[in-house]
Amino acid sequence: MRKNLLLLPLLTVLITGCPSNSLKTASADNQPDLLHAALDTTVAPGDDFFQYANGTWLKDHPIPASESSWGISNEVQKDIYARLRQTSMEAAAANAPAGSNQQKIGDFWAVGIDSVKANQLGAAPIKPELARIAAMKTVAEVPGVIAHEIPLGVDALLGLAVMQDAKNSDKMAVYLWQAGLGLPDRDYYFNADSRTKNIRREYLRHVATTLRLLGQDSTLARTNAARVMALETVLAKSSRKLEALRDPYANYHKMTIAQLNKLTPGVDWNTWLRQLEFTHPDTVIVGQPEFYQTVGQVLRTTPLDDWKAYLTWKVARAFASDLSQPFQDEYFRFYGTVLNGATAMRPRWKRVLAKQEDALGDALGQLFVKEYFKPETKARYDTLVKNVVAAFAEHIQRVDWMSAPTKVAALDKLRKITLKVGYPNKWKDYSALKIDRSSLAENVMRANQWGYRYELDKLGKPVDRTEWEMTPQTYNAYYSSANNEIVLPAAAFAVPGLADAAADDALVYGYAGASTIGHELTHGFDDEGSQYDAHGNLHEWWSKEDRRRFNERVNGIVKQFNGYTLLDSLHINGKATAGENTADLGGIVIGLDAFKKTRQYKEGKKINGLTPTQRYFLGYALGWQMHMRNERLATQLLTDVHSPAQYRVNGPVANVPAFYEAFGIKPGQKLYRPDSARVVIW
């Protein structure tokens, strides 16, 4: 995936919005020049290109109290949210036919925005689930209760998914993955630095406070919080580190149900899977067998009271942000402030829109693309994608480290990549999903259950390779190894304050061609994606010597990013971020060659004193125009396979000779790397 919800960088310039207050510089045709306006010329591009490219914009756009980070994607989000809010308000007032998408959008919005009703209800919407847990008499009942809670959206012990079999992409398979933690990553339970120790203390306090809100007295709440922490720590100890989860072979263990039962003595998986609504799966794919050995162990040895504490906490955590204000405040205090540094909660309407997106994303998407993503816009960027693909093919043919037979296979894979731009050709059918005005939490639970069963229904059926995993109004993009496809949602094509016609090719090719299209294409050939063939199956199609030479180059990326120190003592995890960093570098060099074929590049005319090549690199940096609080940055370094934004700019450009030429980078400047140290892959 090219980006996640932590960073939200963008693709390119499409949707027209109102000019930002920071746009103080205009090009010759009186259109705003985002690139020139954002520059901080007090910083040398060879010392910190990210700050040089974005410094003035960052100064003019401080992080709001309600946010842990802020970037150009947030500016676009404001525009999209305004549109979706209006759509939802109109739906709520429309008295639409029962069962229609408009009725569901309107009812979800109406009850979600009703804070008075939420406060009156308190914890009532989750009381049936809490009662189910409290009624357990023996540990033998625990798997059945877990099986009931997981479809509702509760992260309890099992990481269950239906996905394409990595080694047979034409078949859907049941996956079991490590799960069940309340802190963002296993390292939070063990790291000994003062920052993480404080987070563990605050987590205990948070769990106890939430349990008190459910009615437990202080002593019992503290005791149960300790029980939760103890059980989660056992699970965390058997969970793999972030970088270890990126090895597709090491995280693929296909087992029969009999083999799974043998892995976890005492656990009856035939019964458990039936309770989870699976109908006789013949095999499961276990990502981390050692984690499931621990699952079997804790189900045999953990006392019933500990399970009651753990499952009560899991249900409360899953729906705290859907309940009354005290639950929301406490949830925000820990997950918003302690972990991520935000000091004020986002407005309720924005939080409701985010939940509505999760529940009814395709219903909203149909309305979104109809009004805001015109056919002519889609046509332009379909063409841009094809141009970048052609440039990548030329790079594959030119590289000196890949043998001729592997090049043939690589070009075949590239040609077979499915290019999905804008929106899907068919939409999800929500007719079986009940949405009403009973409570926000109940709507969320029903939507989670609908989504669970939607995925479950795929078992035993042909794989639908036309399906999208993101909605058109999502600011993101991804490469799917199983489908060998890149997916570029419509809403990602947006920059506030600039009409598509006003965007010069240099900006567009840097912003879209490099930071997203080229990036996503490169994911098919990074250290992880390159292990899947043109049909999406996991097997080695490179020669051993090709793989060795490729890994040498990737190790250069790992070493480079391991060397970056942030917040005094924290480091980027070069191994965990290797795929994204490799894709960033590939996207830049591939996008640049595609840009070199444009008229703007060939004419070489300056705009606001900037050459086409300079504007190309600034266009790339524009996609990472964001900053974040230290707390959020620390969380990202432990939990995310993406490097922080500043290093996704400074890191890859320091390896690109054209960057040195464009900005006159010289020895002695901070970004300068001698030729022998520069990483060259594509």
591 touches 391 (CB < 8 A)? yes
| pLDDT, position 20 | 29
306-365 pLDDT, tens digit per residue, is 999 999 999 999 999 999 999 999 999 999 999 999 999 999 999 999 999 999 999 999
58 plus 152 within the same structural domain: no
What's the CA gap between 653 and 671, in Å, rounded?
9
Please report whether residue 327 resides in a domain: no
Please report whether residue 21 resides in a domain: no
Residue whose C-alpha is closest to residue 396's, from 382, 412, 384: 412
Confidence check: pLDDT of 124 > 80: yes
457-480 pLDDT, tens digit per residue, is 999 999 999 999 999 998 889 999
Structure tokens at 271: 């019964």
71 plus 161 within the same structural domain: no
284 plus 210 within the same structural domain: yes
Please report whether residue 231 resides in a domain: yes
Please report whether residue 22 resides in a domain: no
Indicate the burial class of 486 (C-beta count within 10 angstroms; 0-12, 13-18, 19 or more). buried
Please report whether residue 499 resides in a domain: yes
Query: 375-398 and 578-595 are packed helices; what angle lies between their axes, rounded to 10 degrees?
Result: 100
Residue whose C-alpha is closest to residue 680's, from 582, 572, 579, 574: 582
Give DSSP secondary structure letters for 80-128.
HHHHHHHHHHHHHTS-PPTTSHHHHHHHHHHHHH-HHHHHHHTTGGGHH
Amino acid at 345: M
198-243 pLDDT, tens digit per residue, is 999 999 999 999 999 999 999 999 999 999 999 999 999 999 999 9
507 plus 419 within the same structural domain: yes
Please report whether residue 461 resides in a domain: no
Residue count (the chain): 682
532 plus 617 within the same structural domain: yes
- 304, 321, 348 — which closes off a domain? 304
Maximum Cα–Cα distance for the chain, whole Å?
A: 78
553 plus 634 within the same structural domain: yes
pLDDT above 70 covers a percentage of the chain that reads 95
508 touches 384 (CB < 8 A)? yes
Radius of gyration of the chain (CA): 25
499 plus 409 within the same structural domain: yes
Task: State the average pLDDT over residues 176-203.
Answer: 97
The residue range of the domain holding 246 is 138-304
Domain CATH for 283? 1.10.1380.10
Count of domains in the chain?
2
410 plus 494 within the same structural domain: yes
| pLDDT, position 10 | 27
Please report whether residue 12 resides in a domain: no
What's the CA gap between 364 and 101, in Å, rounded?
9
Amino acid at 330: E
Does the CA dihedral 672-676-681-682 come out positive or negative? positive
pLDDT above 90 covers a percentage of the chain that reads 88
- 304, 322, 357 — which closes off a domain? 304
Please report whether residue 566 resides in a domain: yes
Task: State the average pLDDT over residues 589-614.
Answer: 97
CA angle, 547 then 551 then 553, to 5°: 125
624 touches 645 (CB < 8 A)? yes
Query: Phi/psi of residue 570, each to 5°?
Result: -85, 145
71 plus 142 within the same structural domain: no
572 touches 490 (CB < 8 A)? no
66 plus 143 within the same structural domain: no
What's the CA gap between 74 and 676, in Å, rounded?
39
Residue carrying structure tokens 């707390």: 631
| pLDDT, position 31 | 67
- 271, 286, 304 — which closes off a domain? 304
Structure tokens at 276: 């989870």
Domain CATH for 485? 3.40.390.10
20-73 pLDDT, tens digit per residue, is 222 233 344 566 799 999 999 999 999 999 999 999 999 999 999 999 999 988
| pLDDT, position 30 | 62
411-441 pLDDT, tens digit per residue, is 999 999 999 999 999 999 999 999 999 999 9
525 plus 627 within the same structural domain: yes
Residue whose C-alpha is closest to residue 395's, from 414, 378, 380: 414
Confidence check: pLDDT of 103 > 80: yes
The residues that bridge with 176 in the sheet, in sequence order, are 160, 286
| pLDDT, position 495 | 74
282 plus 411 within the same structural domain: no
